[in-house]
Amino acid sequence: MNLKNLSKLARITGTGSYLPEKILSNADLEKMVETTDEWIVSRTGMKERRIAADDEFTSHMATKAATIALQDANIQADQIDAILVATLTPDHIFPSTAALLERNLGAKNAAALDIQAACTGYLYALSIAKAWIESGTYSNILVVAAEKLSTIVDYKDRGTCILFGDGASAAVVSNKGAGLAIQHTCLGADGEQSELLKLPAGGSRLPASKETVEQGLHYLQMEGREVYKHAVRRMENAAKECLDKCGLSDSDISWLVPHQANIRIMEAIAKRFGIPMERVFQTIHKYGNTSASAIAIALDELLKEHPVSTGDNLLLFAFGAGLTWGASLLTQIEE
């Protein structure tokens, strides 16, 4: 690994995250649907998830996470050139949540754009930020992933309501400074499998109506077993491609930072890479699956709890509706 070459790459110079106060535990879910704590933990690894307040929206959580990330990067809001928000639960279809965040932060010099790649959204946003930084288009980009999934979860559907929670995380991506160099990002999609995980109504195909509400079509729908089959294979392939592009092997990985969707998926991929679970960073037991923000929250907590050293390699990977998937290799560098 040539650290001089890495110094030319876009890098994450600050991170932050925010989780709502309200906790929805497995014991709470036992009172809502036919399930048990033992069943949920054994199959998903989840014990709790956070639920945003009724008057707490995606843009609010995004603002709190972004404020912390700006402080961590020691940068002012007016120094941000662009804001990217990865979310599938925006405040509105339009205006964008990124525009609302620009207003909330006072980032008056920033362009603003929402990205919708479901659970893979954070990695898609990192890829765009990397391209803009390294092309010289921008110097400082704020990447945010925020979700209020509780607004699209049917709490009578035991197959999905146990899985999802709310939260937000943010990262400042810059052209200079110490941080995590974004070595490479591999992305993919397969629209042929789009029916496996979807929100049927609310768009132009099925606008909101009395019928769509009565039929519960504004809640997410998922074919869990089929999604699982695709998730393991797609994330493993993306992660291996990422390592190959960077000229690294499994033994060079310091930490795996996976999408926090299911403990069995995480264990399966760790086994295939020969990585002990002690080096697979997990937040799934505390927060469940927070879609685009899950991997970003995990990265922020990893950096706060286990400071990385120069040359450490972090391998991120995610999978979501679309279907979409991706992986990103981050390496700690000095300024």
Catalytic positions, please? 119, 259, 289
Dihedral (CA of 83, 179, 294, 135) sign: positive
Q: Which residues in 106-126 are b (16+ Cβ under 10 Å) and which e?
A: ebeebbbebbbbbbbbbbbbb
Identify any residues that bridge with 315 across adjacent strands, giving them in sequence order: 256, 329
Contact 100, 83 (CB under 8 A): no
Contact 152, 199 (CB under 8 A): yes
Give the SS3 label for residue 221: strand
Q: What share of the chain is helix, strand, coil (3-state, %, to 5)?
A: 40, 25, 35
In whole angstroms, give the CA distance from residue 105 to residue 63. Answer: 7
* Tokens describing residue 91: 């405040």
Residue 310's alpha-carbon distances to 69, 71, 315, in angstroms, are 20, 22, 15
Identify any residues that bridge with 327 across adjacent strands, giving them in sequence order: 186, 317
At 8, the amino acid letter reads K
Contact 168, 143 (CB under 8 A): no
**How far separated are the first and last CA of the chain, in Å rounded?**
16
* Tokens describing residue 220: 């997410």
Within 10 A of 5 (CB to CB), how many other CB atoms are there? 10
Give the SS3 label for residue 61: helix
In whole angstroms, give the CA distance from residue 273 to residue 100. Answer: 41
CA–centroid distance for 95 within its chain: 22
Contact 72, 17 (CB under 8 A): no
